[in-house]
Structure 1
Amino acid sequence: MDIFGAGRDFVRREARLLESRVFAAVFEGADSGGVVDALRGYQNADGGFGHGLEPDKRCPDSLPLDVQVAFETLLTAGARDEEMIRRAVDWLQSIATPDGAVPLCGPAVEGYPRAEHISEWTYEPSLNPTAGLVGQLYQFGFEHPWRDKAAAWCAAELAKGFPEDAHGMHVSMEFLEHTDGVDLDQVRDWLPKLNWYRADAADPTYGVTPLHFAPTPDSFWRPLFDDAQIEAHLDRLIADQQPDGGWALTWEPPSQTATLEYRGRVTIAALRTLKAYNRL
């Protein structure tokens, strides 16, 4: 199978408009302004993002998880819109705790179809997604009072200890790479203790892999993993491409539409990583 060609055809055939614009910007040199235009439909009047931008819940209300996906999409495509970002961060500030922390979701999701894991635990302000959002704003170089307050909260929380799950650790590492004095050995030693960390490339179950932490060879966290680990997971990533050209999910979204939307996202991520490691 032509890995790239089959993945491209899957995105063109099955993905939503947003991911099609991202693909064109990332792989075909298209104007990244098209990604901004596609994102506008997901931004609410209050400045936050919703409408199932993150496909695992079909809630139109603004949610921090959807803001996180909006920022990730802009960064992936090399796109930027100052007003779009500012409005989103103003909204985050409006719903944050006094210390600056925000939750992934909120009770509004209960009125709409959602994946089983989108439940009450996502209503609690936590490092996931606060640390990831702050890290994304550092990547943008976007200054804001909420960013600074939330960064101080994240630093204080991480000083107490690392998260116990791989998702929380992943977003915490997005924050930590923009701070001083990161202890790589401490992080490396902690990874095997994480829930949902999938170190073994032969393990077909759901989890966060070394390629999520180091999606490109020049990733800040690439030194955490030896070459054999990375190569094994790249081999697995290639093997996991489906006959239709896309990559499958290891969890259950709430609908067929949501499944295809998420498959479009993970297919682009897989192709980006394989390209970055010269495996296409």
Structure 2
Amino acid sequence: MNDSILDTAGAFILREGRLLEQRLFATLFQAEPATGVVDSLRGYQNSDGGFGHGLEPDKRCPDSLPIDVEIAFQTLTAAGCPPAERMVSRACDWLAAVSAPDGAVPLAFPVMEAYPRAVHWSDWTYAPGLNPTAGLAGLLHRMGADHPWLTRATDWCWAALEKGFPDDAHAMSETLVFLEHVPDRDRAERVAERVGEWLPKLNHYRADPADPAYGLTPLHLAPTPDSRWRRLFADDLIEGHLDRLAGDQRPDGGWPITWEPPGAASTLEYRGIETLRALRVLTAYGRG
């Protein structure tokens, strides 16, 4: 990647982003140790073991929510942290305490209604589902975790997938994390054979690089060229989305978002997250 994109994006993260994204940027692009990322995450972990405090910035709820636990796990894996065993095991204990008996968890709980939140954070997020259960389980498998909740959640995900794929791109993205990292590789590969034909049916899947609407693109599902899911997409489609992603950088150095957060702070925080995501994708694909 050329220095101008990296420098201007890094300056945006330093100027407008959270400490967490600043430390993750330093780890990914400036060879700083990942301990700074772990230390930054500690401020978001509650005494019950879960994560909250708007770690996912679209709701400002300080209480622990499964979506915030997932963001914590995503951050740890992005930084290449060796498993922070106590941090992760405490979060798994919390997931076990709040999950349904079968292990499934929802994205959020009604406690968030007492705090500012984006309009899409509503009662639909209270239903347990593959989003986020499959993503949480997949990330824990990727980290090599071992916990009774993970066993229950994995069994639940397999049972849910036996009934069919989800109809939303976000839930499919979570499913792909699960299928990429779950230990039963033969079973995962059998299920994965059907993913490609299902993608065009998904809500919120944005296949056309020129489409300005909100949605997940092939680059969300295959963020690196060595991703398990890169083979699902034609080369020209990936190149078109890379062109679009590079062209979306704003004059202030950051990337925009296509939804309405609950406030100015949330907007800047999410722009920092999206800017770091764009840098990671463009770097992985060698674009500059």
SS of alignment partner, residue 26 of structure 1: helix
Residue identity matched to 1:39: L
Kindly indicate whether residue 157 of structure 2 is the aligned counterpart of residue 154 of structure 1: yes
Shift of 1:78: 1.1
Name the residue aligned to 2:244: 236
Name the residue aligned to 1:196: 204
Shift of 1:185: 4.3
Name the residue aligned to 2:88: 85
Q: Deviations over 1:226-279 (max 9, x none)?
A: 111100000000111111010000001101000111111110110011000000
SS of alignment partner, residue 259 of structure 1: helix
Name the residue aligned to 2:223: 215
Q: Counterparts of 1:185 and 1:140 in 2: how far apart (Å)?
A: 25
Q: Counterparts of 1:87 and 1:263 in 2: how far apart (Å)?
A: 29
Kindly indicate whether residue 186 of structure 2 is the aligned counterpart of residue 180 of structure 1: yes
Greater CA drift, 71-80 or 132-141? 71-80
SS of alignment partner, residue 46 of structure 2: coil
Q: Deviations over 1:87-144 (max 9, x none)?
A: 0000000001110000000001100000000000001111100000000001101111
Residue identity matched to 2:53: H
TM-score, normalised relative to structure 2:
0.96
Shift of 1:3: 1.4
Q: Counterparts of 1:249 and 1:146 in 2: how far apart (Å)?
A: 34
Residue identity matched to 1:16: R
Name the residue aligned to 1:44: 46
Name the residue aligned to 1:248: 256
Which one of the candidate residues 250, 271, 287 is aligned to 1:263?
A: 271
Name the residue aligned to 1:113: 116
Kindly indicate whether residue 24 of structure 2 is the aligned counterpart of residue 22 of structure 1: yes
Name the residue aligned to 2:144: 141
Shift of 1:207: 0.2
Q: Counterparts of 2:66 and 2:186 in 1: how far apart (Å)?
A: 26
SS of alignment partner, residue 194 of structure 2: helix
Gaps of 5+ in 1: none
Residue identity matched to 1:187: V
Q: Counterparts of 2:186 and 2:211 in 1: how far apart (Å)?
A: 34
Q: Counterparts of 1:274 and 1:96 in 2: how far apart (Å)?
A: 37
Shift of 1:186: 1.4
Shift of 1:5: 1.2
Q: Counterparts of 1:82 and 1:252 in 2: how far apart (Å)?
A: 35
Kindly indicate whether residue 70 of structure 2 is the aligned counterpart of residue 64 of structure 1: no
Q: Counterparts of 1:5 and 1:234 in 2: how far apart (Å)?
A: 19
Q: Counterparts of 1:247 and 1:185 in 2: how far apart (Å)?
A: 34
Q: Counterparts of 1:260 and 1:268 in 2: how far apart (Å)?
A: 12
Residue identity matched to 1:241: Q
Gaps of 5+ in 2: none
Q: Deviations over 1:205-234 (max 9, x none)?
A: 100000000000011111101111100000
Name the residue aligned to 2:105: 102
Residue identity matched to 1:111: A
Name the residue aligned to 1:227: 235
Which one of the candidate residues 12, 15, 20 is aligned to 2:14?
A: 12
Greater CA drift, 152-161 or 183-192? 183-192
Q: Counterparts of 2:38 and 2:111 in 1: how far apart (Å)?
A: 26
Q: Counterparts of 1:185 and 1:171 in 2: how far apart (Å)?
A: 16
Q: Counterparts of 1:27 and 1:108 in 2: how far apart (Å)?
A: 37
Q: Counterparts of 2:78 and 2:158 in 1: how far apart (Å)?
A: 26
TM-score, normalised relative to structure 1:
0.98
- Count of equivalent residues: 280
Residue identity matched to 1:55: P
Q: Counterparts of 1:2 and 1:189 in 2: how far apart (Å)?
A: 39
Fraction of identical pairs, as percent? 61
Which one of the candidate residues 193, 208, 213 is aligned to 1:205?
A: 213
Shift of 1:180: 2.5
Q: Counterparts of 1:115 and 1:57 in 2: how far apart (Å)?
A: 6
